[in-house]
C-alpha cells in the first residue's frame, strides 16, 4: 500500500519520514537495507578462508580443465611431467595462470598492473551477473582495479564501444566476438572470449493466447524476437523450430528486438513470443502476459550464452591487468555458482544501478524456483548457471550455425577461428613453444536436442541438416 | 478586461486539469487485492511470484495519480544523488542532457549564423547550396547516430554531433531568409552613405534580421531538445534520455511518465527563454 503510515499500529513507529532521514517509504527503506545487508553478507562469505580456498581451487580447476578437457590426457600429462613442473608450465604459458600469486601482490606492489582504471560494459540481464556483482562485492578492487561497470543500451552499442575502445572489456553475446573477429556485421577487429559468463538461463516465452500451441509444429506464421543476430538466442530458436520441421526464414518471422521491448511488444501483440534472456522471460510471467514455453536448458543443457571478453589488442598490451580482471570475474563466477548465494545475489543486483528489476523476478531466475505463467511452480536449480570455461567446441558449434543460416559463406576454418577467439589456444601455443606436448581436445562433444555434436566433423554436422540457408 | 480573461482562462485550465486527474483516477482504479483465505500454500507462493502478495496491491502497469504523486515527490526530494555511473538523481541527468544540448546548439550557432549570413547576401551561393540543405534537413537524428558512432568513435561526441546536425538547418535557413529580406531602402541608404561592408553587416543587416534569426534559433532549440532524448536512449550512459531508457528497461511506466513531464517542462522553459530574447530584439518600424 502506498502512504501506509499505520498510525494505529502499536508495533510500528509513526513514520512520516523514514527514520534514516531520507524521504522514502518504509518499504523502500527496508528494500535498501535488504540490498545492503545482502551485499555485506556476500562480502563476508567471500572473505572466508573456505571461499578463498574454494575460489582458488575453482579458478585453477577451470584452467586445468580448459587445457585438458579429457580426463585421461590430464592424468597422462601430470604423470609424465609431475605436479610441480605442470604447475610451473601452466603458470608460464597462461597470462591468467600466474594470477593466484600476482593477485595477492597487486595490492601491495602498485605498478604491476598496466592500467588500473577500467571501463566495462554490460547489458542489464541476469547473464551479466558475475560481471556486475564483482563490483559491489569488491572483487575488482581486491585485484587492485578501479572498474566502472556501465549499463549499455544494446548489443550493437556494445560492439561499437568495444571497437571504439571506449570499453576496455565487456559483456558479450558469445557469438559476437567470433563475428567481430571475422568482420561479419562490423569492421574486422580481433576480439577474445576470456570466459563464458553464463550457461543456460534463457527461455522461449509465448504470449498467453498461445497456451494451446505448445507444439512448435503449430507455429507457422508466428512472429518471434531475439536480442541480436549473432546470439545463441537466434541460433537456438532457429535450431528448435527447424527440428520441428519449420524453416525459420520462411515459416516464422524472427526480428531483432531489445529484451525490455520484447515484453512490451508481447503485450501489444506485435510478437507472439521470443527466445530471450532473463529476467525478461520471468518478467513476462510477472506481468501476466506470457508463459515460459521451454527453458533453453532443455534444448542444450549447459549451453553457453553470454561471455566476457576484450579486444586482442587490449589483452596483449595489458596482460597483467587482464589477468587481474579475469580473476575477479572468475571469483564472481565461483560465488555465483553456489546455490546458497543465489538469493542474496538477486538482492544485490536488483537495484537501479544494476538490473533495475523487481527482486522477486530475479530471485526466481537465479534460484530456479519459479512461476511458469501457466499456474505451476517449477523447481529447476540449474535454470541459470555460471560455468566459465570457453570450450572451443562451443565456438565451432556457433560457427556451424552461422554457416547453416547463411551468415558466413564458403569454406570455414572452424578450428582456426575458434582457437583464435576462444582464449584457450594461447595456452596451447605457448606450451608447444616450450617444447611440451600440447594437449589435444579442447573440443568435448555436446548433445543438442538429442543430436551429438562432434567439433572434429563440423562440415558433416552442417550438411546433416535438411533445413538450412546454404543454397 | 484582460485580467478577467486571464482569470477565466486559468479557471478553465484548472477544470481541465481536474477532469484529467479524475479520468486518470477512474481509469486506473483497481478492484481490491486477492484475499489469502481459501488459497493453498502453493497458490499463495505462486501469487507472490507474480508480485501479488495476498493482502497487498501490485504496483506496476499504469500508475494511479497517487502513485504518480509519490514518484514525483521521491525524485524531486533528492534530485542530486549520485550512486555511481548507472544511478544518478534526476537533476544530474537533466544537467548532462542540457550540457549536451547546449554544446551541440552552440556549435550549430557558430556554423549556421555566419553561413546563413553569407547565403542570405549572395543569391548565387543560396542557389548552389540549396540542394544540399534540402537533402540534409529532413534526416532523422537516429539515422545519423550509427554513422556518427562509426566515424567519430566516441559516443558522447556522437550525441553532440547529432544535436548539431539536426539543429543547424532551421537556423541556417532562417538566417539566410532574414538577411535576404532586409528592406532594400535600408541597404540603399547604407550605400548612399558609403557605409563600410562590415559596419553595414553589423549595424544594418544584423539588427534587421535579428528577429528572424532568433526564430530560427528558437525552432532549432526545440528540435535539439527533441533530439537529445532519442540520442541518449540510443547511446545510454547519462542524461534524461538514458533515464527514460533505464526505466523502460524496468517497464516502470510511473518513472517514464515522470521523465516525460520533466522533458516537457524543460522544453517549455527553454522555449520561454528564446521567446523573451525574441521580444527583446524585435522593434516596431
Structure confidence at residue A195 as a pLDDT band (50, 70, 90): confident
Distance, in angstroms, between B80 CA and closest chain A CA?
13
Indicate whether A90 pLDDT > 80: no
Residue A153: CA count within 13 A, CB half-sphere: 21
pLDDT band for position B14 (cuts 50, 70, 90) = very high
Please indicate whether, in this complex, the C-beta atoms of A357 and B149 are within 8 angstroms of each other.
no
A95, pLDDT greater than 50: no
Cα(A430)–Cα(A435) distance, rounded to whole angstroms? 9
More confident residue, A21 or A460: A460
Q: Under an 8 Å CB criterion, which residues of B touch A?
A: 42, 45-46, 48-51, 56-57, 59-61, 66-67, 70, 73-74, 77-78, 83-87, 146, 149-150, 153-155, 233-237, 242, 245-251
Chain B residue whose CA is closest to A291: B50
Residue A239 has pLDDT above 90, yes or no: yes
Residues of B in contact with A364 (CB under 8 A): 49
Return d(Cα A102, Cα A135) in angstroms, integer: 20
pLDDT attached to residue A3: 46
CB contact under 8 A, A371 and B242: no
Mean predicted lDDT score pLDDT of chain A? 80
Distance from CA of B154 to the nearest CA of A (A): 7
CB contact under 8 A, B251 and A263: yes
For residue A321, give the 3-state DSSP assignment.
helix
Q: Do B85 and A148 touch (CB under 8 A)?
A: yes
- Asked whether the beta carbons of residue B250 and residue A351 sit closer than 8 angstroms, the reply is no
Pick the residue from chain A with its C-alpha nearest to B43: A375
pLDDT digits (tens, 9 = 90+) for B134-146: 898 888 878 888 8
| For residue A97, pLDDT beyond 50 | no
Distance from CA of A120 to the nearest CA of B (A): 11
Chain B CB contacts of A371 below 8 Å: 46, 49-50
Bridge partners, A406 (sequence order): none
Q: Do A23 and B246 touch (CB under 8 A)?
A: no
Mean pLDDT of B4-12: 89
Question: How many distinct helices (H) and strands (E) make up chain B?
Answer: 12, 0
Taking alpha carbons only, the member of A260, A200, A259, A257 closest to residue A223 is A257
pLDDT digit string, tens, across residues B55-93? 555 655 678 888 888 888 888 887 777 777 777 888 888
In angstroms, the separation between the Cα of residue A388 and the nearest Cα of chain B is: 26
Q: Any residues with CB less than 8 A from the CB of A149 and at least 6 apart, and which?
A: A120, A121, A122, A131, A132, A135, B85, B86
- A229 Cα to chain B: minimum distance (Å): 17
| pLDDT > 90 fraction of chain B, expressed in percent and rounded | 21
* Alpha helical stretches, state H, A144-187: 155-163, 175-182
User: Which residue reads 564501444 in cell numbers?
Assistant: A161
Interface test with B, best of A3, A148, A151 (most B CBs within 10 A): A151
Least trusted range by pLDDT, from A110-114, A158-162, B225-229? A110-114
Query: Which tens digit of pLDDT belongs to each residue from A294-341?
Result: 999 999 998 999 999 888 888 888 877 887 888 788 888 888 888 888
A2–B67 C-beta distance less than 8 A: yes
Contacts of A228 by beta carbon, 8 Å cutoff, 6+ apart: A155, A156, A173, A176, A234, A256
List the beta strands (DSSP E) in chain B.
none
- Nearest CA to B214 out of B185, B167, B174, B251 is that of B174
Tell me what pLDDT residue B186 has: 81
In this prediction the pTM is 0.81
Amino acid at each position: 500500500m502506498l502512504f501506509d503510515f499505520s498510525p494505529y499500529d502499536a508495533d510500528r513507529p509513526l513514520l512520516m519520514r523514514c527514520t534514516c532521514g531520507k524521504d522514502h517509504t518504509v518499504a523502500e527503506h527496508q528494500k535498501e537495507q535488504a540490498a545492503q545487508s545482502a551485499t555485506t553478507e556476500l562480502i563476508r562469505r567471500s572473505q572466508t578462508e573456505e571461499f578463498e580456498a574454494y575460489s582458488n581451487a575453482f579458478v585453477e580447476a577451470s584452467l586445468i580443465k580448459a587445457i585438458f578437457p579429457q580426463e585421461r590426457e590430464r592424468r597422462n600429462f601430470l604423470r609424465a611431467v609431475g605436479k610441480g613442473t605442470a604447475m610451473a608450465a601452466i603458470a608460464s604459458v597462461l597470462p591468467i595462470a600466474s594470477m593466484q600469486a600476482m593477485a595477492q601482490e597487486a595490492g601491495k606492489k602498485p605498478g604491476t598492473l598496466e592500467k588500473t582504471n577500467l571501463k566495462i560494459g554490460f547489458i542489464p540481464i541476469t547473464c551479466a551477473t558475475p560481471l556486475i556483482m564483482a563490483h559491489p562485492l569488491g572483487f575488482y578492487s581486491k585485484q587492485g582495479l578501479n572498474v566502472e561497470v556501465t549499463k549499455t543500451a544494446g548489443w550493437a552499442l556494445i560492439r561499437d564501444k568495444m571497437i571504439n575502445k571506449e570499453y576496455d572489456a565487456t559483456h558479450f553475446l558469445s557469438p559476437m566476438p567470433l563475428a567481430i573477429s571475422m568482420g561479419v556485421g562490423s569492421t574486422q577487429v580481433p576480439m577474445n572470449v576470456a570466459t563464458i559468463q553464463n550457461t543456460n538461463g534463457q527461455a522461449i516465452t509465448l504470449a498467453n493466447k498461445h497456451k494451446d500451441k505448445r507444439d512448435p509444429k503449430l507455429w507457422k506464421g508466428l512472429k518471434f524476437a531475439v536480442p541480436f543476430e549473432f546470439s545463441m538466442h537466434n541460433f537456438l530458436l532457429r535450431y528448435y523450430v527447424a527440428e520441428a520441421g519449420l524453416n525459420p526464414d520462411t515459416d516464422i518471422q524472427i526480428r531483432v528486438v531489445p529484451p525490455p521491448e520484447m515484453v512490451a511488444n508481447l503485450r501489444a501483440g506485435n510478437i507472439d513470443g521470443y527466445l530471450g534472456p532473463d529476467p525478461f522471460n520471468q518478467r513476462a510471467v510477472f506481468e501476466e502476459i506470457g508463459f515460459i514455453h521451454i527453458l533453453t536448458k532443455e534444448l542444450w543443457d549447459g549451453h553457453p550464452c553470454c561471455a566476457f571478453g576484450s579486444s586482442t589488442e587490449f589483452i596483449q598490451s595489458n596482460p597483467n591487468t587482464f589477468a587481474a580482471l579475469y580473476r575477479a570475474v572468475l571469483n564472481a563466477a565461483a560465488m555465483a555458482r553456489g546455490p546458497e548465494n543465489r538469493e542474496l545475489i538477486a538482492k544485490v543486483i536488483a537495484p537501479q544501478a544494476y538490473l533495475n528489476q523487481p527482486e522477486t523476478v530475479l530471485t526466481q531466475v537465479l534460484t530456479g524456483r519459479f512461476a511458469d505463467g501457466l499456474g505451476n511452480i517449477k523447481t529447476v536449480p540449474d535454470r541459470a548457471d555460471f560455468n566459465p570455461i570457453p570450450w572451443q567446441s562451443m565456438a565451432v558449434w556457433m560457427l556451424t550455425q552461422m554457416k547453416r543460416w547463411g551468415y558466413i559463406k564458403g569454406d570455414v576454418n572452424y578450428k582456426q577461428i575458434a582457437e583464435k577467439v576462444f582464449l584457450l589456444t594461447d595456452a596451447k601455443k605457448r606450451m608447444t613453444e616450450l617444447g611440451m606436448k600440447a594437449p589435444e581436445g579442447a573440443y568435448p562433444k555436446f548433445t543438442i536436442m538429442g543430436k551429438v555434436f562432434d567439433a572434429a566433423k563440423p562440415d558433416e554436422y552442417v550438411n546433416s541438416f535438411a533445413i538450412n540457408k546454404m543454397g | 478586461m484582460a485580467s478577467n480573461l486571464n482569470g477565466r482562462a486559468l479557471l478553465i485550465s484548472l477544470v481541465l486539469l481536474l477532469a484529467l486527474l479524475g479520468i486518470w483516477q477512474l481509469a486506473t482504479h483497481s478492484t481490491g487485492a486477492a484475499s489469502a483465505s481459501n488459497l493453498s500454500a502453493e497458490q499463495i507462493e505462486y501469487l507472490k511470484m507474480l508480485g501479488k502478495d495476498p493482502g497487498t496491491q501490485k504496483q506496476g502497469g499504469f500508475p494511479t495519480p497517487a502513485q504518480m504523486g509519490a514518484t514525483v515527490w521521491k525524485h524531486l526530494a533528492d534530485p542530486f544523488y549520485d550512486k555511481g555511473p548507472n544511478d544518478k538523481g534526476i537533476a544530474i541527468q537533466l544537467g548532462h542532457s542540457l550540457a549536451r544540448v547546449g554544446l551541440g546548439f552552440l556549435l550549430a550557432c557558430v556554423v549556421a549564423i555566419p553561413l546563413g549570413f553569407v547565403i542570405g547576401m549572395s543569391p548565387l551561393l543560396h542557389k548552389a547550396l540549396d540542394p544540399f540543405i534540402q537533402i540534409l534537413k529532413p534526416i532523422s537524428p537516429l539515422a545519423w547516430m550509427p554513422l556518427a558512432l562509426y566515424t567519430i568513435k566516441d559516443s558522447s561526441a556522437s550525441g553532440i554531433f547529432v544535436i548539431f546536425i539536426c539543429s543547424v538547418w532551421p537556423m541556417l535557413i532562417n538566417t539566410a531568409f532574414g538577411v535576404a529580406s532586409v528592406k532594400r531602402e535600408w541597404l540603399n541608404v547604407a550605400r548612399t552613405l558609403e557605409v563600410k561592408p562590415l559596419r553595414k553587416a553589423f549595424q544594418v543587416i544584423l539588427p534587421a534580421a535579428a528577429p528572424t534569426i532568433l526564430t530560427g534559433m528558437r525552432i532549432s532549440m526545440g528540435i535539439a531538445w527533441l533530439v537529445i532524448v532519442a540520442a541518449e536512449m540510443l547511446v545510454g550512459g547519462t542524461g534524461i534520455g538514458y533515464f527514460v531508457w533505464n526505466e523502460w528497461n524496468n517497464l516502470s511506466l510511473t518513472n517514464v511518465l515522470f521523465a516525460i513531464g520533466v522533458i516537457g517542462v524543460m522544453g517549455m522553459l527553454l522555449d520561454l527563454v528564446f521567446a523573451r530574447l525574441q521580444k527583446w530584439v524585435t522593434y516596431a518600424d
